Amino acid sequence: MAAPKVAVVGAGVIGLSTALCIAETCPSCSVTVLSDQFSPNTTSDVAAGMLIPHTYPGTPIHVQKQWFKETFAYLFAISNSAEASEAGIHLVSGWQVFKNTPKEELPFWSDVVLGFRPMSEAELQKFPQHRFGQAFTTLKCDCPPYLLWLEKRLKAIGVQMYTRKVADLWELHSEYNVVVNCAGIGAHQLVGDEKLFPIRGQVLKVQAPWVKNFIRDGDGLTYIYPGIHRVTLGGTREKESWSLSPDPSATKDIFDRCCSLEPSLRGAQDIKVKVGLRPSRQRVRLQREVLSQGGVKLPVVHNYGHGAGGFSVHRGTAKEAAHLVGECLAALQGASSRAKL
200 marked ligand binding residue? no
On whether the CB atoms of residues 317 and 67 are closer than 8 A, the answer is yes
Does residue 297 form part of some domain? yes
How much is the pLDDT for 202?
Answer: 96
Give Cα 171 distance to the centre of its chain: 27
User: 181 CB contacts (<8 Å, ≥6 apart)?
Assistant: 9, 10, 169, 187, 190, 191, 300, 301, 302, 303, 304
175 found inside a domain: yes
113 assigned to a ligand binding site: no
Residue range 287-341, pLDDT digits in tens: 999 999 999 999 999 999 999 999 999 999 999 999 999 999 999 887 766 666 5
With a threshold of 0.85, does the pTM exceed it? yes
Task: Note whether 299 and 7 are within 8 A (CB).
Answer: no
In a domain, 98, yes or no: yes
Q: Is residue 318 situated within a structural domain? A: yes
Residue 312 lies in a domain: yes
- 18 assigned binding-site residue: no
Does a structural domain hold residue 341? no
User: Residue 249, annotated ligand binder?
Assistant: no
Q: Residues 148, 150, 152, CA angle at the centre, nearest 5°?
A: 70
* In-domain check, residue 11: yes
How far out from the chain centre does Cα 304 lie? 10
- At 244 the pLDDT is 94
**In the prediction, which pLDDT does 225 show?**
97
- Any alpha helices (H) in 115-243, and if so which ranges? 121-124, 143-156, 187-190
pLDDT for residue 155: 97
Regions of the chain with pLDDT less than 50: none
- Overall domain count for the chain: 1
196, exposed or middle or buried, with CB in 10 Å at 0-12, 13-18, 19+? Answer: buried
223 carries a ligand binding annotation: yes
d(CA 198, CA 107): 26
pLDDT value of residue 337: 66
What's residue 334's pLDDT? 78
CATH of the domain at 280: 3.40.50.720
Note the pLDDT of residue 220. Answer: 86
Q: Which residues pair with 252 in a beta bridge?
A: none
Identify whether 47 is part of a domain: yes
pLDDT at 333: 84
Q: Which residue range(s) make up the domain with 242?
A: 5-335
